Amino acid sequence: MYKSIETILIDIPTIRAHKLSVATMSTQTLVLVKITTDDGFIGWGEATTIGGLNYGEESPESVKTNVETYFAPLLKSVQGLNIAQTLKVIRKSINGNRFAKCAIQTALLDIQGKRLGVPVSELLGGRLRDALPVLWTLASGDTEKDIAEAQQLIEIKRHNAFKLKIGANKLQQDVDHVIAIKKALGDDISIRVDVNRAWSEIECIKGIQQLQDGGIDLIEQPCAIENTNALARLTQRFDVAIMADEALTGPDSAYRLAKQHGADVFAVKINQSAGLIEACEVAKIAKLAGIDLYGGTMLEGPIGTIASAHAFATFESLAYGTELFGPLLLTQDILKTPLQYENFELKVPTGSGLGIEVDEDKIDQLRRQ
Ligand code: MUC
Ligand code: MG
């Protein structure tokens, strides 16, 4: 069935330093998984982390090692199982490793889509839209540079909503930076912030009050991952929407958060959820609990980004749009035809599988030796 499972690390410089509270990125490492079947199908998957182990508990190197040491032999050992049965074997045999699981599942869905001649979105229940709104993250660390960057992106109709990464500086400095950008860009432009869990609960109360008064639309993961009670209290306290990001690690945590209405919005991510199927389950839990949705990113390259797009295209409502801009932050592409970003949206491919063509020569040039 599965003839080979190859894992490739690629380090690609970013177009500028990308500053988060947990790390400053100047390169992004893509972990590409290529699965080849006996009957000649090839499927691609991808995992990315942010700043090595700064963001989550998997690193590009751990994903590569664990895919090669544990996932690959397991996949080679399953004979005649369908994709659902194969994923069940993986879930049963391997704990954690959500990012590695996502990369493998993406490649299996790519193969299945190609085999059946349908896009991956159709394997996930069917797409409800062919394009997704995409925001841009301003994270140069400099207010004037961020304003100029945003104005240029509005001008060329690439993005009209922006997320600001804060939490690395003193609270008041960060809040003033956000309000200055909001004032410069005006009422028509949606501004959101991502604190990446940097604030204590008391800092959250002080900061969010000012951001709410300043017209900011969304506050992402302001406090610690484990402190879901604080996230729930902030959700009850403020009118501005509070979003869970790092606190969401798949359907189980989504269910626990939803039970206490611990957020107004869920940032759904395929890597954090352990796969596209699980990301769709997170979305379903949110829908049942009356929680809005946002399509998140782990700053994936084109493969993980388009896999996310196939999943998000099936969501009934996507009230806060997506942040599927990962490939645009990178200086090099690994596709033969780049993804299509136009009119503030990303097009979801209509070809079978992921609907993209990977440039293997480019990958060979870029792969880590
Ligand atoms: C995160 O926490 O949302 C997504 C966009 C970005 O700039 O960083 C990521 C991670
Ligand atoms: Mg976030």
pLDDT above 90 for 346 = yes
The catalytic residue among 165, 182, 220, 345 is: 165
Helices (H), 124-170: 143-155
pLDDT above 90 for 197 = yes
pTM listed for this prediction: 0.98
Q: Hey, whose CA ends up nearest to atom 9 of ligand 1?
A: 298
The pLDDT tens digits of the residues spanning 107-142 come to 999 999 999 999 999 999 999 999 999 999 999 989
Return phi, psi of residue 160, to 5°. -130, 15
Q: Label residue 258 by pLDDT band (50, 70, 90).
A: very high
Question: CB–CB of 162/180 below 8 Å?
Answer: no
Question: CB–CB of 225/246 below 8 Å?
Answer: yes
Interstrand relation of 241-244 and 265-268 (parallel, antiparallel or unpaired): parallel
Q: Tell me, what's the pLDDT at 79? A: 85
> In order of start, what are the domains of the chain with their CATH numbers?
2-117+358-366 (3.30.390.10), 123-347 (3.20.20.120)
Q: Tell me, what's the pLDDT at 1? A: 86
The catalytic residue among 58, 220, 323, 345 is: 323
Mean pLDDT of the chain: 97
Cα of 326 to ligand 1 centre, how many Å? 9
Task: Please confirm, yes or no, whether 323 is among the known catalytic residues.
Answer: yes
Cα of 316 to ligand 1 centre, how many Å? 23
Cα of 85 to ligand 2 centre, how many Å? 32
pLDDT above 90 for 56 = yes
Taking residues 143-170, what's their average pLDDT?
Answer: 97
Q: Tell me, what's the pLDDT at 296? A: 98
Percentage of residues of the chain with pLDDT beyond 90: 99
Q: Tell me, what's the pLDDT at 138? A: 97
CA nearest 71: which of 109, 114, 123, 107? Answer: 107
